[in-house]
Amino acid sequence: MSPLDLLVAAPLAFMVAALVAGQGGRWLILAAGPVMLALSAWLVVLPPGVAHLVGDWDLPLGILLRADGVARLLVPATSACFVAVALYAWHEFSPKAGAETARAHTFWPMLYLMWGGSNAGYLTTDLFNLYVTIEMVSLAAVAMAAMGSLAAGLQYFLIALVGSLAYLLGVALLASHYDTVDATLLAVRARPDLPTLMAITVMTAGLLVKTALFPLHGWLPPAHAAAPAPASALLSAVVIKLGFVILLRLWFEAFAEIIRPAAMDLLGGMGALAILYGSVQAIRQERLKLLVAYSTVAQLGYLFLAFPLIANAQNPAEPWAAVLVHAVSHMLAKAAMFLAAGLMLKAVAGDRISDLAGLARAMPLSVTAFALAAISLAGLPPSGGFTAKFLLLHAAIEQGRVVPAAVLVIGGLLGAVYLFRPLSVAFSGSAAPAVRAEAPLRVAAPLALASLAIALGFAGMTLIELSSVAAPPAVAGPVQAEPGR
């Protein structure tokens, strides 16, 4: 047995248990939480280079699970998100909530399905296996999105289907061409010929749709804003990260030798536009959850803005760490923000930013969680978001790339603009609105996640070390001869 297996198997077992348990499904988190957190901790402390062949079949037949930098950062963060969201959803999706009984039946199994799928996605290097994982995650995500709005859920379903099919087409092309779909083997075998390039193109396009990179983001804001708060949190924090992780595997591992700088720049450019467009849209929103959803569109841009910075770096370890730290911080902060927003909007029974007036006084803990998450999302110190943007800006300036540097700076400022707006409203007025007191247990979930996002800002060296397992290697050749530069 290895934690690598268990991280995938355990959530699936809990999913089955949740299906069987029906109305009692929510109780399972009391067992699943400690188990998954312990497994995640185990994964983090595994010696570097640990890999595991499922069922002991060799490649290319077997499936390789690997504890690389991506997994070491994203698996624990994902577990933290799921545990916090589950604790928050404890009341929301309980049998007592009346009309929401049916949702309680769906929510808990879907949560575990998504959990297992995400973990499998972070751990595996097999491109077909990755297809299975995104289907698992998409299925659960569509079900959750449909809880808020059937129309948004349906749209999301169609988009997810198109994306998956495009990706599967690419996998099929590769399988017939190279007799393997394992990323580590493809890295050795891949040639820049037409079928390979076509495969890369359709797979990338499919994944970008799923990751909602501008201009393919249209489906995200309505779906994420309409869902119930715990579902929104998972959709925005966890689900879209998987497509990004697969893109990392494709672009920096399987086909690192083939992909041209121009393609990297194209992806980086789309990332830059996403940051600017998403931020401007977020500034224009009047509804809080739409603001948070557009913030996701913007924040995803940073993940792709980093692609050319990693590809062109003399020492890619830092931008590589930066992009993973950004993914993790965004995961924690965004989940915290959706949960805090959910608490506040429920308390005031509204959905507009202007409804938040005076909440800093009435709901200080929720507003604190929102504020801490906002600090990380806006890239202000001390926070994981700051560490990530600091490293990216550092890389951009070191490489003399003006455009990414400018976008990073402007994006940070725009982020502050849209994130401080709801906070400003919460601080307005001297009389506290009459809302029910905060339930300490529910507000603990966003508060813990947001605090983690802040705490990451103090652990920069550890995060860089963890992320360095199987990071893209430093550039060989004359450039490296002068490391002091």
Residues that bind other proteins (CB under 8 A): 318, 358, 360-361, 364, 375, 380-382, 387, 390-391, 393-394, 397-398, 405, 409, 412-413, 416, 420, 424, 427-430, 458, 460-461, 464
| Minimum CB–partner distance for residue 447 and other proteins (Å) | 13
| Minimum CB–partner distance for residue 397 and other proteins (Å) | 5
CA distance linking residue 211 with residue 169, whole number of Å:
18
CA distance linking residue 179 with residue 128, whole number of Å:
12
Residue 25 contacts residue 108 (beta carbons within 8 Å): yes
| DSSP code for 54 | E
| Minimum CB–partner distance for residue 279 and other proteins (Å) | 14
Q: Which residues contact 171 (CB under 8 A, 6 or more apart)?
A: 127, 128, 131, 181, 199, 203
| Minimum CB–partner distance for residue 326 and other proteins (Å) | 14
Kindly report the CA angle at 461 between 456 and 463, in degrees rounded to 5? 55
Q: Which residue, 94 or 428, has its beta carbon nearer to other proteins? A: 428
Other CB atoms within 10 Å distance of the CB of residue 179: 10
Q: Which residue, 77 or 405, has its beta carbon nearer to other proteins? A: 405
| Minimum CB–partner distance for residue 432 and other proteins (Å) | 8
Q: Which residue, 172 or 432, has its beta carbon nearer to other proteins? A: 432
Kindly report the CA angle at 267 between 115 and 407, in degrees rounded to 5? 100
Residue 74 contacts residue 122 (beta carbons within 8 Å): yes
Phi, psi of 46 (to 5 degrees): -60, 145
Q: Which residue, 339 or 393, has its beta carbon nearer to other proteins? A: 393
Q: Which residue, 27 or 427, has its beta carbon nearer to other proteins? A: 427
| Minimum CB–partner distance for residue 474 and other proteins (Å) | 13
Q: Which residue, 148 or 411, has its beta carbon nearer to other proteins? A: 411
| Minimum CB–partner distance for residue 396 and other proteins (Å) | 9
What secondary structure, in 3-state letters, does 135-198 show? HHHHHHHHHHHHHHCHHHHHHHHHHHHHHHHHHHHHHHHHHHHHCCCEHHHHHHHCCCCHHHHH
Could you identify the residue written with the tokens 């037949």? 61
Q: Helix, strand, or coil here: 115?
A: helix
Q: Which residue, 137 or 360, has its beta carbon nearer to other proteins? A: 360
| Minimum CB–partner distance for residue 316 and other proteins (Å) | 13
Q: Which residue, 175 or 409, has its beta carbon nearer to other proteins? A: 409
Q: Which residues contact 409 (CB under 8 A, 6 or more apart)?
A: 393
Other CB atoms within 10 Å distance of the CB of residue 209: 21
Q: Which residue, 175 or 365, has its beta carbon nearer to other proteins? A: 365
| Minimum CB–partner distance for residue 375 and other proteins (Å) | 7
- Euclidean distance between the first and the last CA atom of the chain, given in angstroms as a whole number: 46
Q: Which of 181, 160, 183 is nearest to 170 (CA)?
A: 181
CA distance linking residue 247 with residue 252, whole number of Å:
8
| Minimum CB–partner distance for residue 415 and other proteins (Å) | 10
Tell the burial category of 187 from Cβ atoms under 10 Å away from its Cβ (0-12, 13-18, 19+): middle
Q: Cis ω on the peptide bond leading into residue 195 (within 30° of 0)?
A: no
Q: Which residue, 154 or 410, has its beta carbon nearer to other proteins? A: 410
